[in-house]
Amino acid sequence: MKCFSWNVRGLNGDTRQLSVKRWFLANQPLIGGLLETHLQQQNVAATINSLFPGWRFESNHSPEAENGRIILVWDPLLSVIIYLKTPQMILAGVFNPS
């Protein structure tokens, strides 16, 4: 199973989003974590749906982490259970039914 973790150092700019999208299309992972995204909560869904069409995601946005540092993204073929979210981490179980 291909997975990734990428400290994107901000995902607000078009250039950074294009870099992520190109990498995603070239490597075709099944699950990954985007770190230090600095996205505001109201922009997360639109940005992730643009970069990872059809994929599911979970972020650690909360009153303590308004700009969310972590976004977990995964192919809907996987089963992902979120056990815990804090401002510093997302703990999840990942299951590949195939």
In Å, what is the CA distance from 11 to each residue of 62, 81, 82?
A: 18, 25, 23
- Return d(Cα 72, Cα 53) in angstroms, integer: 14
| 82 contacts 58 by C-beta, under 8 angstroms | yes
pLDDT number for residue 41: 87
- What's the whole-model pTM score? 0.91
- Return d(Cα 23, Cα 32) in angstroms, integer: 12
Q: What does pLDDT average to in each consecutive run of 10 residues of the chain (98 residues)?
A: 94 94 96 94 93 96 76 98 93 94
Segment 52-79, tens digit of pLDDT: 999 999 999 887 666 678 999 999 999 9
Number of domains in the chain: 1
| 71 contacts 39 by C-beta, under 8 angstroms | yes
Residue 34 belongs to domain spanning: 3-95
- DSSP category for residue 68: -
CATH at 39: 3.60.10.10
Q: How many CB atoms lie within 10 A of CB 51?
A: 20
